[in-house]
Amino acid sequence: MSKPNARNSQKTPCEQCPLRPLPHFREFKPEELSFVSRFKTGELVVDAGATVLVEGSHSAHLFTVLSGWAFRYKMLEDGRRQILNYVMPGDLIGLQGSLLGEMQHSIEALTPVTLCVFERDRLPTVFHNHAELAYDLTWIASREERMLDENLLSIGRRSALERAAYLLAFLYDRSKVLNIFPNGAATLPLTQQHVADTLGLSIVHTNKTLKKLAEKTLIRWADRGCHILDDKGLRQLSGWEGFKESKRPFI
């Protein structure tokens, strides 16, 4: 486990947030925006591979991902690891598992990540003075549940091939609306070990399964990442219908 190597940098005002103009996110009223801008106390930059939060710790902060990818995971005592979900720009970190109290999972950066930092102990202000934002928080928690439900269905009941196809389609679906693939070609910044730990498979079998997907020209694995060639084909193979999500809130 490497050190966070965290640097507090100057703060990007929320009014100039590069994510907020995206059509994927709901619009904010000016007063909401100004409150969030005051709620945000700083920024945190984390290296790829570094740990953002550790299971069992108490974190005084909530984070919103400004850029980069990360993942949430839990481990068993003997080292077996299960990746629970992935975190991308616009996602809130720190709400999952508990509002207060110990973190029930760890978070690790997959790429260099920039985080907006919020003080957890100012949450009551949100609930008392900003009902719409409080509603958004619950909505966000509910969205996370929906993803976990899907992942649970997948791991529990889909075959290895369907599972892999689902995961890649899922990550593609989430990321494509975030304008993070400038050249158009979607590359997921994962290793096969991450895929294995998400699907609940061994790395050897994961490799053989991904190879089958590549043989069907649904994906191509290269340059330490997964290139999505045919997202529709992946969804079809997995029997997953994709997200039915219009605009979503983000804080």
Among 50, 115, 158, 169, binds a copy of itself (CB under 8 A): 158
Judged by CB under 8 A, which of 13, 60, 131, 205 binds a copy of itself?
Answer: 131
Tokens of 205: 């079998």
Residues contacting a copy of itself: total by CB under 8 A: 51
Binding mask 31-70 for a copy of itself (x = CB under 8 A): ----------------------------------------
Binder of a copy of itself out of 4, 42, 200, 225 (CB under 8 A): 200
Q: How far apart are CA 158 and CA 217, in angstroms?
A: 21
Q: 199 and 160 in contact (C-beta within 8 Å)? A: yes
Residues 6+ away with beta carbon under 8 Å from 242: 169, 173, 235
Q: Residue 167 touches which of DNA, a copy of itself, none (CB < 5 to 8 A by kind)?
A: none
State how far the alpha carbon of 161 is from the alpha carbons of 5, 31, 98, 206, in Å: 37, 48, 33, 9
Report what 99 binds from a copy of itself, DNA, none; CB cut-off 5-8 Å by kind: a copy of itself
Stretch 80-119: interaction string toward a copy of itself, x if CB under 8 A: xxx-x----------xxxxx-xx-xx--------------
For position 248 contacting a copy of itself by CB under 8 A, the verdict is: no
Enumerate long-range contacts of 13-22, CB under 8 Å, 24 or more apart. 13/37, 14/40, 14/116, 17/66, 18/66, 19/66, 19/89, 19/90, 19/178, 19/250, 20/250, 22/90, 22/177, 22/178, 22/179
Q: How far is the CB of 1 from DNA (least distance, A)?
A: 12
Q: How far, in Å, CA of 29 to CA of 40, rounded?
A: 17
In the complex, the residues that contact a copy of itself under the rule CB under 8 A are 72, 74, 76-78, 80-82, 84, 95-99, 101-102, 104-105, 123-124, 127-128, 131-132, 134-135, 137-139, 141-146, 148-153, 155-158, 197-200, 239, 244
